Structure 1
Amino acid sequence: MAASAGEGEEFVYRISTAQEWEALQKNGSCFGRDLDKSSGFIHFSFLHQVKPIVLNFFSNVKLDLFLLQIDAKKLGDGLVYELVDGSNSFPHFYGPSRSFAPLPLDAVTKAEKISVLDGQFSYSLLD
């Protein structure tokens, strides 16, 4: 089910592993991780959703993480806003005609390493 909440925001955000971020820079695009490939779209979030997602899904990950800021306009109509769990809307990138296109490097406007200190995550994009 498509939703309009958050639609029109200038940026969406991707929590990326260092490996994924390096591959994106090297290849100019990437299809994300296993969850993205099995879902058929690349998972993004809005800025206010980043911290809860990091805490819920990445708190036990021992990999270096990066927060990528993505220019939503560069993803075009392949970016769809969908309700998840009936109340929260998340941006998902399917690509043109829902063809599961890779995330293009030129859509990334900023990338910042997520720092972990005493179990707390920090990134200046949220400050």
Structure 2
Amino acid sequence: MTLIYKISPGKDWQQAEARGRFSGAPVDLADGFIHFSAADQVRETAAKHFAGQEGLVLVAIEAEALGEELKWEPSRGGALFPHLYGELDMSAVRWVRELPLGADGAHLFPEGL
């Protein structure tokens, strides 16, 4: 099983859970797909796009559960990033964890990631 990751404000994620699907953050809606990161990309994503933000959650999604709507496409520096062309159904979510800030202002990721 391949896990991909979404960083989201906790309140936005709670609303998505209540709806049973995640349609995307404003940047996702503007780009026409939901942005995700692979395990080796998610720390850089947090530092680049969420620096210093509190109240975030890290969501792990099973990539294979997303089917053909998930595309791995070149982005930052030519690296392939996972993009979902559709809504994220909560059945593909494997876990959700808080993404707190450490004393140095960087986000603290779960062990093993």
Per-residue displacement from partner, 1:13-52 (whole Å, max 9, x unpaired)?
1111112210121000021111000111000000111111
| Structure 1 segments of 4+ aligned residues over 2 angstroms from their partners | none
User: Quick one: structure 1 residues 72 and 125, their matched pair in 2 at CA, closer, same or farther if it must change by over 3 Å?
Assistant: farther
**Aligned residues of 2:52 and 2:106 also touching (Cα < 8 A):** no
User: Quick one: structure 1 residues 39 and 102, their matched pair in 2 at CA, closer, same or farther if it must change by over 3 Å?
Assistant: same
2:50 corresponds to 1:58: yes
Q: Structure 2: which amino acid aligns with 1:106? A: S
TM-score relative to the length of structure 1: 0.81
User: Quick one: structure 1 residues 67 and 85, their matched pair in 2 at CA, closer, same or farther if it must change by over 3 Å?
Assistant: closer
TM-score relative to the length of structure 2: 0.90
Aligned counterpart in structure 1 of residue 78 of structure 2, from 73, 87, 90: 87
User: Using the alignment, how far apart are the partners of 2:109 and 2:3 within structure 1?
Assistant: 16
- Any unmatched runs of 5+ in structure 1? 1-8, 95-100
2:78 corresponds to 1:120: no
Aligned counterpart in structure 2 of residue 45 of structure 1, from 22, 37, 55: 37
Identity %: 29
User: Using the alignment, how far apart are the partners of 1:75 and 1:44 within structure 2?
Assistant: 12
Larger Rg: 1
Q: Structure 1: which amino acid aligns with 2:109? A: Y
- Any unmatched runs of 5+ in structure 2? none
